[in-house]
Amino acid sequence: MGSLKLRNRFVMAPMTRNFSPGGIPSEGVAGYYRRRAEADVGLIITEGVGVDHPSAVGRETMGGGASPVLHGEETLARWREIVAGVHEAGGLIIPQLWHQGVIRVPGTGYHPDAPSARPSGVWGPIDKAMVPPEYLELVREPTAPLTDSEIGDIIAAFVRSAVNAKAVGFDGVALHGAHGYLIDSFLWRHTNMREDRWGGGAAERAGFAAALVRAIRSATGPDFPIIFRFSQWKLQDYDARNAETPGELEAMLAPLVAAGIDVFDASTRIFTTPAFEGADMGLAGWIRRLTGKPTIAVGGVGLSKDLQSSFAQPTVMTDNLSLVADRMAQGEFDLIAVGRALLMDPQWVSKMRHGGEVKPFRLDAYATLD
């Protein structure tokens, strides 16, 4: 993967944890990640980490309020401890750099006075939103669109955080370009209606993401891996599409490839869901075919229900790795990310390889650092 060699193809998917009061990962976070590395996870992608910008993180639909950041002496010291523990266990770890963008509730976070960061000032359509009504009331009012100067400041914030990641020993960085957050809100036509250089067709709407990647690549060097998380679905609409056709998807991702992306993380609710009509191939497969870059598939591995359904319907742990292996053998994707199954059982990968009873699905796992 870029300059890295992984010990296997299992990736720990990024999952919001909210155990970082004041933006500083709590002492339990080091053990949380190390336990997964000790149990054969090939690559760990951390929870979303707020970039060095006042508007980066705040309250959002998952609660927020205790998300980590990647700046400040005490914070960086804690991240060094976390990275060192994963490396001592034989693993690799990459932070997911995150700016909540339109999803952040105005007036919340570590800098509540920071204005909202929205490409066109709108949260997006609300008729299909899979979020609580009380949250919608807090975000539905339009705000001022980002200015050119403000966009430049945010790009600089991502760069500072990426440089900090390299300085504390992380093995690369991942950019959260999915699910309706800031980068994704530039990609989606319903939240990016700009008529300047940051808006327009599929390729033009990718301009902000490409500028981020170029700036990070320039600051961190040619051998520092950059992963980009991409999705069609978003919190505003689970059926949304940034790209309606393979051609539109290719046009949108080509600028990111040219800017220096090493790997695409294709976030789907179920990894086997066809990305486009007329073909069974999932989103990771299409991205791999159209860009020539390695891809990570994610969504529903090891569980009987997708993420949203698992909060409301009976959910059990299941072994669907034969389907993963079949798709991987066909060249559809290169790596498989596992989220909730690893949240339920730190030993999940090891048990899948060597045998052993996997811990059951439980909702209280979201409130602990097992």
Alpha carbon 118 to its chain centroid, in Å, reads 18
Please name the CATH architecture into which domain 10-367 falls. Alpha-Beta Barrel (3.20)
* Residue 29 pLDDT greater than 90, yes or no: yes
Is 1 a residue whose pLDDT tops 90? no
pTM assigned to the model: 0.97
Q: Which residue has the higher pLDDT, 308 or 11?
A: 11
pLDDT of residue 310: 86
CB atoms within 10 A of CB 321: 16
Across 175-187, average pLDDT: 98
Q: Give the pLDDT confidence score for residue 152 in this predicted structure.
A: 98
Within 99-195, strands assigned E span 173-179
What pLDDT band is residue 60 in, cutting at 50, 70 and 90?
A: confident
Domain edges within the chain? 10-367
List of residues 6+ apart from 224 with CB closer than 8 A: 2, 3, 162, 166, 172, 173, 217
Least reliable range by pLDDT among 154-163, 207-216, 314-323: 314-323
Residue 45 forms beta bridges with which residues? 94
Q: 48 and 96 in contact (C-beta within 8 Å)?
A: yes
Share of the chain above pLDDT 70, in %: 99
pLDDT of residue 65: 61
Phi-psi label, residue 292: left if phi above 0, alpha if psi -120 to 50, beta otherwise: left
- To the nearest whole number, what is the mean pLDDT of the chain? 95
**pLDDT at residue number 94:** 98
At residue 58 the predicted structure's pLDDT band, cuts being 50, 70 and 90, is very high
User: Which residues are marked as active site?
Assistant: 181
Please state, for a pLDDT cut of 90, what percent of the chain lies above it. Answer: 92
Tens-place pLDDT, residues 83-138: 999 999 999 999 999 999 999 999 999 999 999 999 999 999 999 888 899 999 99
Mean pLDDT on 146-163? 98
pLDDT at site 311: 82
Q: Which residues of 32-64 are buried (b: 16+ CB within 10 A; e: fewer)?
A: bbbbbbbbbbbbbbbbbbbbbbbbbbbbbbbeb
Q: What is the pLDDT of residues 63-75, one digit of tens each?
A: 656 899 999 999 9
Q: Using pLDDT thresholds of 50, 70 and 90, give the confidence band for residue 283.
A: very high
Rounded to an integer, what distance in angstroms lies between the CA atom of residue 312 and that of residue 304?
13
What is residue 232's DSSP assignment?
Answer: E
Per-residue pLDDT tens digits for 285-316: 999 999 999 999 999 999 998 888 888 888 99
Strands (E), 235-309: 263-267, 295-298
pLDDT recorded at residue 64: 56
Dump strand ranges (E) for 26-172: 43-50, 93-98
CA 2 to chain centre: 18
Rounded-to-integer distance, Cα 276 and Cα 91, Å: 35
